[in-house]
Amino acid sequence: MIRNIGRNVPCWCKSGKKYKNCHMWIDEKIKNYKKQGHIVPSRRIIKNEAQIQGIRESGKINIAVLDYIAEHMKSGITTEEIDKMVYEQTTARGGIPAPLGYEGFPKSVCTSINNQVCHGIPSEHVVLEEGDIVNVDVSTIYNGYFSDSSRMFCIGQVSRERKKLVEDVKKAVELGLEQVKPWGFMGDMGQAIHDFAKENGYSVVVDIGGHGVGLEFHEDPFVSYVTKKGTEMLLVPGMIFTIEPMINGGGEEIYVDDDNGWTVYTEDDSDSAQWEIMVLVTLDGHEVLAY
Ligand code: MF3
Ligand code: CO
């Protein structure tokens, strides 16, 4: 039996186009990189146009929800109130908050303050105070498509160190983003982030990273920010993933809250910041789908 994928059969990506007019040239390039020993993406994580459009729409809701939150952040509100706003603003736009019930997560959004690295659980007992830095991590399901992005907020006047950490982590994400282009590597992005963080005296969290996203909340590959240029997965048009480094003012060590099983803290109590964007690899570079 000969298993021959014909040039004229419909493309595996379900675009409806003939293979030779769709992913054939991409597959040939991928095959070559694989031969040279590189890690290459599976078909599952390469999205077609219709899927990209669906994920783009989901991302627009994610952005709108974060824009709404940005306008309502102030000292004195509880993280429970942020959770309520995220739930209402997401559902009002026809979306579902992806965190709600995800592996048992009890709320619609993650809110992580100061020395909390990620996965802070909103609570009526947690009040935002002047001087706090807080990450609001929003994820949306819309028509079955997932989006994911997060921003940092400074509550009132924050210390110079905190403000710098927040701005530097944003800068790190943008430097990483500049590296995202087809036929580059995940490690190009990872190294750009890591180098910048180190130069500024920070540490990068190793064990929690980004991920493919779109058809599911968390897809392959795991996206690390301590990787080296020219290594890790090949970047191919149609891949969608998050850039979401967690960067600590002090050491890289972290621990998970014993009581709730979710919230991650810095071991040394230092501040931590994170920005998250969702990016698509395009034919000639990248497109940000959520920020
Ligand atoms: N939004 C987080 C991420 O960026 C994942 C949170 S999982 C949850 O990957 F269950 F805590 F919401
Ligand atoms: Co994410």
Chain-centroid distance, C-alpha 124: 27
Residue 162 Cα to ligand 1 midpoint, Å, equals: 23
For the segment 269-290, the average pLDDT, to the nearest whole number, is 98
107, pLDDT greater than 70:
yes
Q: Is 105 in the pocket of ligand 1 (CB under 6 A)?
A: yes
**Which atom of ligand 1 is found nearest the CA of 109?**
12
What backbone phi and psi angles, to 5 degrees, belong to 281?
-85, 120
**274, 216, 79, 164: CA torsion to nearest 10:** 10
- How far is CA 111 from each of CA 43, 116, 262, rounded to the nearest angstrom? 34, 9, 12
1, pLDDT greater than 60:
no
pLDDT confidence bin for 243, thresholds 50/70/90: very high
Residue 103 Cα to ligand 1 midpoint, Å, equals: 10
Task: List, for residues 4-61, the tens digit of each pLDDT value.
Answer: 568 999 999 999 999 999 999 999 999 999 999 999 999 999 999 999 999 999 999 9
Contact 270, 221 (CB under 8 A): no
Q: How high is the pLDDT of residue 6?
A: 83
Task: List, for residues 116-147, the tens digit of each pLDDT value.
Answer: 999 999 999 999 999 999 999 999 999 999 99
Instruction: Return the SS3 of 205.
Output: coil
**Which atom of ligand 1 is found nearest the CA of 138?**
1
Q: Which ligand is nearest to the CA of 208?
A: 1
Residue 184 Cα to ligand 1 midpoint, Å, equals: 27
Rg (Cα) of the chain, in Å, rounded? 20
What backbone phi and psi angles, to 5 degrees, belong to 183?
70, 15
| Beta-strand runs (E) in 125-204 | 133-142, 145-154, 203-204
Contact 257, 277 (CB under 8 A): no
Rounded CA-CA distance 140/97 in Å is 5
Task: List, for residues 170-204, the tens digit of each pLDDT value.
Answer: 999 999 999 999 999 999 999 999 999 999 999 99
pTM score, whole prediction = 0.97
Percent of the chain with pLDDT over 90: 98
